Amino acid sequence: MTAIPAGFRKLESMSPFHELVGPLYERREGANLTLGFEVAEKHQNRRGIVHGGMICTLADFAMGYAASSATDPPRKLVTTTLSMDFAGNATPGDWIEARVDLYRPGKRVAFVDCFIWRMGERPERIGRASATFLILRADE
C-alpha cells in the first residue's frame, strides 16, 4: 500500500459507484482541490495499467466535486461535456491525483479543467481533462 500523501483525507462514500472505484482522498488548499487514489488491481486493464475509464472517472468526479462545492450551499449538477487526453499511465501501487482548475464557476454553467498526475520520485502528468457542468436550480 502506498502511503497516503500528507494533507489528504478520505472522502466519505457519496454513491454506490463511489464505493466500487474508491476509496478516494481529497486535499484542499484554499480554493484548490486535488483528489487522489492508489491504483489497485481492480483499476487495471488487461495490460496491467490503470484503465482509461478509471482516469476519466477520477477526472469527472474531481471536476464535478469542485464545481458543485463552488456554490454556497453546494448544488447538484450534470456533466454536459467531458474531454480527456491521455499522455501516460500508472500501475497498481502508484498514487495518482487530479488537480482541478475551476476557471469559470457561474450560476448555471461551470467550466473546469484538470491534470491527472502519477506521483512518485519524478511526478508525471498522465492526463488532461476539461468539462462543462450545468448547475441545477435548487428546485431541479
Residue 40 domain flag: yes
Residue 131 domain boundaries: 9-135
What's the CATH number where 82 sits? 3.10.129.10
Average pLDDT of the segment spanning 25-29: 92
Residue 1 domain flag: no
Q: Does 14 or 44 have the greater pLDDT score? A: 44
Residue 64 domain flag: yes
DSSP state of 93: T
Residue 63 domain flag: yes
Span 44-96, pLDDT tens digits: 999 999 999 999 999 999 998 888 877 667 778 899 999 999 999 999 999 99
Neighbours of 19 (CB within 10 A): 10
Residue 101 domain flag: yes
Which one-letter amino acid corresponds to residue 40? A
**pTM of the predicted protein model:** 0.89
Residue 140 domain flag: no
Q: How many domains does the chain have?
A: 1
**Which cell numbers hold the place of 19?**
464505493
Residue 2 domain flag: no
Alpha-carbon Rg of the chain, whole angstroms?
15
In whole angstroms, give the CA distance from residue 124 to residue 82.
22
Closest CA to 126 of 55, 66, 26: 55
Q: Is 70 exceeded by the pLDDT of residue 115?
A: yes
Q: Does 38 or 13 have the greater pLDDT score? A: 38
